[in-house]
Amino acid sequence: MVREEKLSCMFNRRKPPVTVADVRGLLNFKYRQDINQEADRKTGQQFVRFLQATKGDGATVNGITLKPHDVLMWMTGSAEIPALGFHKLIDVEFVEKERVSVL
């Protein structure tokens, strides 16, 4: 569902700032269903905690200040949410081996 304040940017070209709640609402955590599930949940919680730290003045990591739009850019390649939203949620999948998706 698209929030009303997000739709207004279609007509007046002003885009509201990306919030922590916006980014968190895009995430779909997929935890493994085995002995690693608890560790996966803790990792997911720590990522959400980091995300919450980016609101306001932002979170500074290694001298770089990050805000919610920076995290969104890292995850999607876009620093703003399209007026009609993304076509699906962002799956955060926990797997045994590290892999990179180029799709």
pTM of the model: 0.73
Q: What is the pLDDT of residue 13?
A: 64
Q: H or E segment at 30? A: strand 27-30
The token pair that represents 28 in the structure block: 């779909």
Query: Per-domain residue ranges for the chain?
Result: 4-93
Spell out the per-residue pLDDT of the chain, length 103, in tens: 555 555 555 556 677 889 999 999 999 999 999 999 999 999 999 999 999 999 888 888 889 999 999 999 999 999 999 888 899 999 998 887 766 666 5
Q: H or E segment at 64? A: strand 64-66
**Distance (Å, rounded) from C-alpha 33 to C-alpha 38?**
9
Q: What is the pLDDT of residue 9?
A: 55
